[in-house]
Amino acid sequence: MRVADLNGFVDHMNNTMIDKMRGVGASDVQGQRIILGGEAAGTVNVTGEWDSVDAFAAAAEELEADPGYGDLMQNFGVTLLRRSLMTMEVERGERTGAYSSGFYARGPLRDQATLEANADAVWANLSEGANGMAQLRITAGAEMTGVRILFQSGDSLDAILEASLKNLADPNIQAMMADQDITPIGRVLGKRLF
């Protein structure tokens, strides 16, 4: 989304909407502003986790009917650009830190055992600069459907990027990506808002 009044938006999310999202079943709510990432720079991403797609669909209907949602959209100049469904595949570490990286890649579906083994190998490198990582697959996102996003969270973008570059230079990771037909397609860097 694009947000004209970012400070007002963040305050409204912290004081009103995060609790409302949790009240309709979101187990985790986070927001970040993309600070580097081509045409995505300046956009704001709000993520919430629900137990199922049906649970989210019911929650979205309830949230959109809430006056606080209307206030959010109108009072702070919010333009919704897209809404996508992502499925968590693997996670390591903790979702903490002021900064994030979203590394986008294409590749075929993998069984859970392969995803876990891949995550262990990748986390061995990324943990040197990140507090946590989560790999998600876009399940419903128009032309981005099927793309995976490897999110890293941490306290320093320099440290996150250094660990990521080390990971991409690792011969074992390069072989894994080649063997599994994993193709990088982009990266965005962000700052956590809430």
Transcribe 48-79 into DSSP letters. Answer: E--SSHHHHHHHHHHHHHSHHHHHHHHHTTEE
Q: Are strands 29-36 and 183-192 parallel, antiparallel or unpaired?
A: antiparallel
Q: How many CA atoms lie within 13 A of 157 on its CB side?
A: 13
Amino acid at position 92, single letter: R
Q: Are strands 132-140 and 183-192 parallel, antiparallel or unpaired?
A: unpaired
**Residue range 29-75, pLDDT digits in tens:** 999 999 999 999 999 999 999 999 999 999 999 999 999 898 889 99
Would you state the CATH architecture of domain 85-189?
2-Layer Sandwich (3.30)
Percent of the chain surpassing pLDDT 70: 100
pTM as predicted: 0.93
Hey, what are 150's tokens?
Answer: 């490897």
- Per-residue pLDDT, 20: 95
Domain ranges of the chain: 2-79, 85-189
Do residues 69 and 63 touch, judged by C-beta distance below 8 A? yes
Neighbours of 30 (CB within 10 A): 17
For the chain, what is the mean pLDDT?
97
